[in-house]
Amino acid sequence: DVVMTQSPDSLAVSLGERATINCKSSQSLLYTSNNKNYLAWYQQKPGQPPKVLTYWASTRESGVPDRFSGSGSGTDFTLTISSLQAEDVAVYYCQQYYFTPYTFGQGTKLEIK
Amino acid sequence: EVQLVQSGAEVKKPGESLKISCQGSGYRFSTYWIAWVRQMPGKGLEWMGIIYPADSDTRYSPSFEGQVTISADKSTSTAYLQWRSLKASDTGMYYCARGVLSCSGNECYSYNWFDPWGQGTLVTVSS
């Protein structure tokens, strides 16, 4: 299985400051035929199902605020929240959809400092 | 509106069987992959398996193969997750989620990031 490792496990950031979450895969998620990275980011708030934020590593889902951005390629990826808002408190997961089983990272809990 | 609606919470005893459901609406059910994802209490997301309702092509995570059965009925736009003999360790929230279909001209490709998700079904197994 492809192992997805997120860092840190938890993060406390002040309102208005930048939050950065990392995700590392044990195999490259870049498909050279289409030059796309098969990596998605999700946000899960308490009591709710996950919601997709970005796919293809950096394509923002429709309706997602532009303070959320994804980057990276190959095995190293980052989710950045440029200016943290109170409603961004959640657990964030990366997921690879290149190889079955389609594995998730262990999650990063984001809180307000 | 595209949505997945899951069956209600279940409380079962160890050794009992269970089948939970996920009904899709607002889209052509048979042509999108449906995945099942487990979330144990206070833990992260675990991908269990996936089914393509048009032909019931099913893939399982090795961690769940032989432990559960995934099926689908395209006539009712419903996917299922089934256990023959529950264990206490099966306690958790189970989500269904739909893969994505990307079309360009006459060519369409399935990709398995997941949107939308069902609301979740809480399964509690306790003696």
Question: Over the stretch B46-59, which tens digit does the pLDDT of each residue have?
Answer: 999 999 999 999 99
Alpha-carbon gap, residue B123 to B20, rounded angstroms? 9
A93 CB neighbours in chain B (<8 A) are 44-45
The first and second tokens of residue B13, run together, are 């005893």
Least CB-CB distance to B120: which of A49, A102, A104? A49
Q: What is the pLDDT of residue B104?
A: 85
pLDDT band per the 50, 70, 90 thresholds, residue B102: confident
Q: For A61-78, what is the mean pLDDT?
A: 97
What does the H/E/C string look like for B33-100?
CEEEEEECCCCCEEEEEEEECCCCEEEECCCCECCEEEEEECCCCEEEEEECCCCHHHCEEEEEEECE
Cβ-defined contact of A95 to B59 (cutoff 8 Å)? no
Least CB-CB distance to B47: which of A44, A55, A102? A102
- What is the pLDDT of chain B when averaged over all its residues? 96
Q: What is the pLDDT of residue B75?
A: 96
Q: What is the pLDDT of residue B99?
A: 94
Q: For A79-104, what is the mean pLDDT?
A: 97
A100, A107, B35 from B68: Cα distances, Å:
17, 24, 13
Q: What is the pLDDT of residue A14?
A: 97
Cβ-defined contact of B115 to A61 (cutoff 8 Å)? yes
**Whether the Cβ atoms of residue B44 and residue A107 lie closer than 8 Å to each other:** yes
Q: For A36-56, what is the mean pLDDT?
A: 97
Range 62-101 of A in CB contact (< 8 A) with B: 91, 93, 95, 97, 100-101
Cβ-defined contact of A50 to B118 (cutoff 8 Å)? no
Q: Which residue of B has its CA nearest to A56?
A: B113
* pLDDT tens digits along B67-77: 999 999 999 99
Q: Which residue of B has its CA nearest to A50?
A: B117
Q: What is the pLDDT of residue A4?
A: 98
Q: What angle do CA A8, A14, A20 make, to 5 degrees?
A: 35
For residue B10, pLDDT over 90 is answered with yes
B117 CB neighbours in chain A (<8 A) are 49-51
